[in-house]
Structure 1
Amino acid sequence: MAPFPLALTLAAALFAGAEPPAPTLWRNPSNTVHVRAAPCGNGGMCATVVWASEKAKADARRGGTDPLIGTQLFQNFRIVRDGLWKGTVFVPDINQRFSGTVTVVDENTIVGKGCALLGTICKSQTWTRVQP
Protein backbone atom coordinates (compact mmCIF):
# COMPACT_ATOMS: atom_id res chain seq x y z
CA MET A 1 0.00 0.00 0.00
CA ALA A 2 1.30 3.45 -0.83
CA PRO A 3 2.07 5.48 2.29
CA PHE A 4 0.44 8.72 1.20
CA PRO A 5 -3.11 7.33 0.78
CA LEU A 6 -2.87 5.39 4.03
CA ALA A 7 -2.32 8.36 6.27
CA LEU A 8 -4.51 10.68 4.32
CA THR A 9 -7.45 8.47 4.63
CA LEU A 10 -6.85 8.01 8.28
CA ALA A 11 -7.80 11.63 8.51
CA ALA A 12 -11.21 10.72 7.23
CA ALA A 13 -11.57 8.33 10.09
CA LEU A 14 -11.53 11.11 12.59
CA PHE A 15 -14.85 12.76 12.20
CA ALA A 16 -18.35 11.49 11.94
CA GLY A 17 -20.56 14.54 12.26
CA ALA A 18 -20.91 18.29 12.62
CA GLU A 19 -19.97 18.27 16.27
CA PRO A 20 -16.80 16.66 17.59
CA PRO A 21 -17.79 13.03 18.10
CA ALA A 22 -17.08 10.94 21.15
CA PRO A 23 -13.90 8.88 20.76
CA THR A 24 -14.37 6.36 17.96
CA LEU A 25 -12.27 3.72 16.23
CA TRP A 26 -11.80 3.65 12.45
CA ARG A 27 -10.00 1.30 10.06
CA ASN A 28 -8.41 1.90 6.69
CA PRO A 29 -9.70 -0.05 3.65
CA SER A 30 -7.08 -2.80 3.96
CA ASN A 31 -7.66 -3.06 7.73
CA THR A 32 -3.94 -2.59 8.46
CA VAL A 33 -4.31 0.49 10.71
CA HIS A 34 -6.87 1.46 13.35
CA VAL A 35 -7.01 4.95 14.79
CA ARG A 36 -8.81 6.39 17.78
CA ALA A 37 -10.39 9.74 16.91
CA ALA A 38 -11.11 12.03 19.84
CA PRO A 39 -11.43 15.72 20.66
CA CYS A 40 -8.13 17.49 21.31
CA GLY A 41 -7.09 21.03 22.23
CA ASN A 42 -9.30 24.03 21.49
CA GLY A 43 -12.20 22.14 19.94
CA GLY A 44 -10.16 20.29 17.34
CA MET A 45 -10.09 16.58 16.54
CA CYS A 46 -7.06 14.32 16.49
CA ALA A 47 -6.49 10.63 15.70
CA THR A 48 -3.90 8.32 17.19
CA VAL A 49 -2.87 4.88 15.95
CA VAL A 50 -4.05 2.22 18.44
CA TRP A 51 -3.40 -0.88 16.31
CA ALA A 52 -1.38 -1.66 13.18
CA SER A 53 -0.40 -4.76 11.25
CA GLU A 54 3.23 -5.85 11.19
CA LYS A 55 3.53 -4.63 7.58
CA ALA A 56 2.19 -1.17 8.48
CA LYS A 57 4.62 -0.98 11.41
CA ALA A 58 7.53 -1.99 9.16
CA ASP A 59 6.55 0.57 6.49
CA ALA A 60 6.41 3.31 9.14
CA ARG A 61 9.74 2.23 10.61
CA ARG A 62 11.38 2.42 7.16
CA GLY A 63 10.01 5.97 6.88
CA GLY A 64 11.48 7.00 10.23
CA THR A 65 8.46 6.57 12.52
CA ASP A 66 8.98 4.07 15.31
CA PRO A 67 6.83 3.14 17.07
CA LEU A 68 3.75 3.60 14.90
CA ILE A 69 1.37 2.72 17.75
CA GLY A 70 0.73 5.93 19.68
CA THR A 71 1.61 8.21 16.78
CA GLN A 72 -0.85 11.04 16.23
CA LEU A 73 -1.63 10.92 12.51
CA PHE A 74 -4.26 13.66 12.44
CA GLN A 75 -3.88 16.96 14.19
CA ASN A 76 -6.14 19.95 14.73
CA PHE A 77 -8.93 18.96 12.40
CA ARG A 78 -11.67 21.55 12.57
CA ILE A 79 -15.11 21.63 11.05
CA VAL A 80 -15.42 23.84 7.97
CA ARG A 81 -19.09 23.12 7.36
CA ASP A 82 -21.48 20.33 8.20
CA GLY A 83 -19.79 17.07 7.21
CA LEU A 84 -16.43 18.59 6.18
CA TRP A 85 -13.30 18.88 8.34
CA LYS A 86 -9.84 20.29 7.57
CA GLY A 87 -6.54 19.73 9.34
CA THR A 88 -3.02 18.31 9.14
CA VAL A 89 -2.17 14.69 8.31
CA PHE A 90 1.13 13.06 9.28
CA VAL A 91 2.26 10.28 6.92
CA PRO A 92 4.64 8.09 8.95
CA ASP A 93 5.85 6.08 5.94
CA ILE A 94 7.54 9.20 4.52
CA ASN A 95 7.79 11.36 7.68
CA GLN A 96 5.81 14.23 6.11
CA ARG A 97 2.82 16.41 7.00
CA PHE A 98 0.12 17.41 4.54
CA SER A 99 -3.07 19.44 4.41
CA GLY A 100 -6.12 17.16 4.56
CA THR A 101 -9.89 16.99 4.61
CA VAL A 102 -12.42 14.50 5.90
CA THR A 103 -15.87 14.23 4.36
CA VAL A 104 -18.56 12.40 6.28
CA VAL A 105 -20.55 10.00 4.08
CA ASP A 106 -22.61 8.52 6.92
CA GLU A 107 -22.09 7.55 10.56
CA ASN A 108 -19.98 4.53 9.58
CA THR A 109 -18.14 5.87 6.53
CA ILE A 110 -15.80 8.77 5.90
CA VAL A 111 -13.57 9.76 3.00
CA GLY A 112 -10.21 11.29 3.73
CA LYS A 113 -8.33 13.31 1.17
CA GLY A 114 -4.84 14.75 1.40
CA CYS A 115 -2.99 16.98 -0.99
CA ALA A 116 0.62 17.96 -1.58
CA LEU A 117 2.34 20.43 -3.91
CA LEU A 118 -0.29 23.13 -3.47
CA GLY A 119 -3.13 20.74 -4.20
CA THR A 120 -1.72 19.34 -7.42
CA ILE A 121 -1.26 15.80 -6.06
CA CYS A 122 -4.19 14.45 -4.04
CA LYS A 123 -5.13 11.00 -2.74
CA SER A 124 -8.30 9.82 -1.03
CA GLN A 125 -9.48 6.71 0.81
CA THR A 126 -12.70 5.48 2.36
CA TRP A 127 -12.56 4.55 6.06
CA THR A 128 -15.01 2.46 8.07
CA ARG A 129 -16.00 2.68 11.70
CA VAL A 130 -14.77 -0.26 13.79
CA GLN A 131 -17.86 -1.70 15.44
CA PRO A 132 -17.61 -2.50 19.17
Structure 2
Amino acid sequence: MKTLLASAVMALGLAAPTVAADAVEGTWQTQVDDGAYAYVTIAPCGSNFCGTISRTFNSDGEYNSPNKGKQIVRDMAPKGDGKFEGKVWRPSNDKIYIGKLDQSGDRIKLKGCVAGGMLCSSQTWARIQ
Protein backbone atom coordinates (compact mmCIF):
# COMPACT_ATOMS: atom_id res chain seq x y z
CA MET A 1 0.00 0.00 0.00
CA LYS A 2 2.85 2.41 0.83
CA THR A 3 4.41 1.70 -2.56
CA LEU A 4 1.11 2.41 -4.33
CA LEU A 5 0.65 5.66 -2.40
CA ALA A 6 4.24 6.73 -3.08
CA SER A 7 3.80 5.96 -6.79
CA ALA A 8 0.58 7.99 -6.94
CA VAL A 9 2.20 10.99 -5.22
CA MET A 10 5.22 10.76 -7.53
CA ALA A 11 2.99 10.57 -10.63
CA LEU A 12 1.05 13.64 -9.53
CA GLY A 13 4.27 15.51 -8.86
CA LEU A 14 5.57 14.68 -12.33
CA ALA A 15 2.27 15.64 -13.97
CA ALA A 16 2.12 19.11 -12.41
CA PRO A 17 4.80 20.75 -14.61
CA THR A 18 3.03 19.47 -17.74
CA VAL A 19 -0.26 21.03 -16.66
CA ALA A 20 1.48 24.35 -15.94
CA ALA A 21 3.34 24.25 -19.27
CA ASP A 22 0.09 23.67 -21.18
CA ALA A 23 -1.11 27.15 -20.11
CA VAL A 24 1.32 28.67 -22.62
CA GLU A 25 -0.40 26.87 -25.51
CA GLY A 26 -2.68 29.01 -27.63
CA THR A 27 -2.62 32.04 -29.90
CA TRP A 28 -0.92 35.24 -28.75
CA GLN A 29 -0.81 38.75 -30.24
CA THR A 30 2.66 40.31 -30.42
CA GLN A 31 3.38 43.97 -29.84
CA VAL A 32 3.91 46.17 -32.88
CA ASP A 33 7.49 45.84 -34.19
CA ASP A 34 8.61 47.84 -37.23
CA GLY A 35 5.01 48.79 -38.02
CA ALA A 36 3.50 45.30 -37.93
CA TYR A 37 2.27 42.72 -35.45
CA ALA A 38 1.35 39.06 -35.62
CA TYR A 39 -0.67 36.30 -34.08
CA VAL A 40 1.65 33.53 -32.90
CA THR A 41 0.32 30.04 -32.20
CA ILE A 42 2.28 28.27 -29.46
CA ALA A 43 2.09 24.48 -29.33
CA PRO A 44 4.22 21.55 -28.14
CA CYS A 45 7.27 20.66 -30.23
CA GLY A 46 8.72 17.53 -28.71
CA SER A 47 9.06 18.08 -24.97
CA ASN A 48 9.31 21.88 -25.46
CA PHE A 49 7.10 24.60 -26.95
CA CYS A 50 7.37 26.48 -30.24
CA GLY A 51 5.45 29.41 -31.68
CA THR A 52 4.60 29.88 -35.35
CA ILE A 53 3.38 33.09 -36.97
CA SER A 54 -0.21 32.32 -37.97
CA ARG A 55 -1.53 35.76 -39.03
CA THR A 56 0.09 39.13 -39.75
CA PHE A 57 -1.22 42.70 -39.55
CA ASN A 58 -0.06 46.24 -40.31
CA SER A 59 -1.78 49.65 -40.31
CA ASP A 60 -3.88 48.60 -43.32
CA GLY A 61 -5.17 45.46 -41.58
CA GLU A 62 -4.35 41.80 -42.15
CA TYR A 63 -1.84 41.08 -44.89
CA ASN A 64 0.01 38.07 -46.25
CA SER A 65 3.54 38.47 -44.85
CA PRO A 66 6.34 36.22 -46.11
CA ASN A 67 6.94 35.42 -42.41
CA LYS A 68 3.59 33.65 -42.02
CA GLY A 69 4.16 30.00 -41.13
CA LYS A 70 7.66 30.64 -39.79
CA GLN A 71 8.71 29.68 -36.29
CA ILE A 72 9.41 32.72 -34.11
CA VAL A 73 9.53 31.00 -30.68
CA ARG A 74 11.85 28.00 -30.74
CA ASP A 75 12.35 25.08 -28.37
CA MET A 76 11.13 26.84 -25.21
CA ALA A 77 11.81 24.40 -22.38
CA PRO A 78 9.55 24.66 -19.31
CA LYS A 79 11.47 25.72 -16.19
CA GLY A 80 8.48 25.89 -13.80
CA ASP A 81 6.23 28.70 -12.57
CA GLY A 82 5.34 29.79 -16.13
CA LYS A 83 8.98 30.33 -17.11
CA PHE A 84 10.56 28.92 -20.28
CA GLU A 85 13.99 29.15 -21.92
CA GLY A 86 14.85 28.64 -25.58
CA LYS A 87 15.36 30.85 -28.62
CA VAL A 88 13.51 33.71 -30.31
CA TRP A 89 13.72 34.76 -33.97
CA ARG A 90 13.16 38.44 -34.80
CA PRO A 91 11.82 38.68 -38.35
CA SER A 92 12.72 42.37 -38.87
CA ASN A 93 16.47 41.65 -38.69
CA ASP A 94 16.44 37.85 -39.28
CA LYS A 95 18.43 37.19 -36.10
CA ILE A 96 17.99 34.46 -33.49
CA TYR A 97 18.38 35.38 -29.82
CA ILE A 98 18.62 33.59 -26.50
CA GLY A 99 14.98 33.53 -25.47
CA LYS A 100 13.15 33.69 -22.18
CA LEU A 101 9.41 33.52 -21.83
CA ASP A 102 7.47 34.32 -18.68
CA GLN A 103 3.75 33.46 -18.88
CA SER A 104 1.29 34.81 -16.33
CA GLY A 105 -2.44 34.52 -17.02
CA ASP A 106 -3.26 36.03 -20.40
CA ARG A 107 0.12 37.74 -20.83
CA ILE A 108 3.53 36.57 -21.97
CA LYS A 109 6.70 38.57 -21.46
CA LEU A 110 9.12 37.42 -24.13
CA LYS A 111 12.80 38.43 -24.04
CA GLY A 112 15.46 38.06 -26.67
CA CYS A 113 19.04 38.51 -25.48
CA VAL A 114 22.61 38.62 -26.80
CA ALA A 115 26.00 38.86 -25.08
CA GLY A 116 25.16 36.10 -22.63
CA GLY A 117 21.93 37.80 -21.58
CA MET A 118 23.45 41.22 -20.87
CA LEU A 119 21.65 43.02 -23.75
CA CYS A 120 17.95 42.22 -24.03
CA SER A 121 14.84 43.46 -25.74
CA SER A 122 11.38 42.38 -24.64
CA GLN A 123 7.75 42.40 -25.67
CA THR A 124 4.55 41.61 -23.85
CA TRP A 125 2.08 39.50 -25.78
CA ALA A 126 -1.65 39.12 -25.10
CA ARG A 127 -3.62 35.87 -25.38
CA ILE A 128 -6.09 35.77 -28.29
CA GLN A 129 -7.27 32.16 -27.70
TM-score, normalization: structure 1? 0.69
Count of residue pairs the alignment pairs up: 103
Q: Structure 2 matches for 1:36-47, cutoff 5 A?
A: 36-41=41-46, 43-47=47-51
RMSD: 2.1
Residues 122, 22 of structure 1: CA spacing in aligned structure 2 closer, same or farther, 3 A cutoff? closer
Check 1:79–1:24 CA distance in 2 against 1; reply closer, same or farther (3 A cut): same
In the other structure, the counterpart of 2:22 is 20
- Does the Cα contact within 8 Å between 1:21 and 1:38 map onto a contact in 2? no
Query: In the alignment, which residue of structure 2 is the partner of 1:94?
Result: 93
CA contact (8 A) 2:99 2:112 kept: yes
Is the radius of gyration larger for structure 1 or structure 2? 2
Q: For residue 38 of structure 1, report the CA deviation from its aligned partner.
A: 0.3
Specify the alignment match of 2:15 in structure 1. Answer: none
Please say if residues 35 and 48 of structure 1, whose CA atoms lie closer than 8 Å, have aligned partners that are also in contact: yes
**Preserved contact between residue 107 and residue 126 of structure 2 (Cα < 8 Å):** yes
Please list the CA deviations of residues 36-80 of structure 1 after superposition, one character each: whole Å capped at 9, or x if unmatched. 100012x1100000111257xxxxxxxxxx720000011110111
Whether the 8 Å CA contact 2:52–2:70 is kept in 1: the answer is yes
Instruction: Give the structure-2-normalised TM-score.
Output: 0.71
Amino acid at match of 2:27: L
- Cα pair distance change 1:47/1:79, threshold 3 Å: same
The corresponding residue for 1:51 is 55
Q: Tell me the alpha carbon deviations over residues 67-97 of structure 1, each in whole angstroms, 9 at most, x when there is no partner.
A: 2000001111011122110001111211111
Structure ranking higher in strand proportion: 2
Give me the identity figure in percent.
Answer: 29
Deviation at 1:120, TM superposition (A): 2.2
Runs of 4+ in 1 over 6 A off after TM superposition: none
Higher relative contact order (CA 8 A, sep 6+): 1
**Residue aligning to 2:111:** 113
Unaligned residue ranges in structure 2 (runs of 5+): 1-18, 60-64
CA distance in 1 between partners of 2:68 and 2:84 (Å): 24
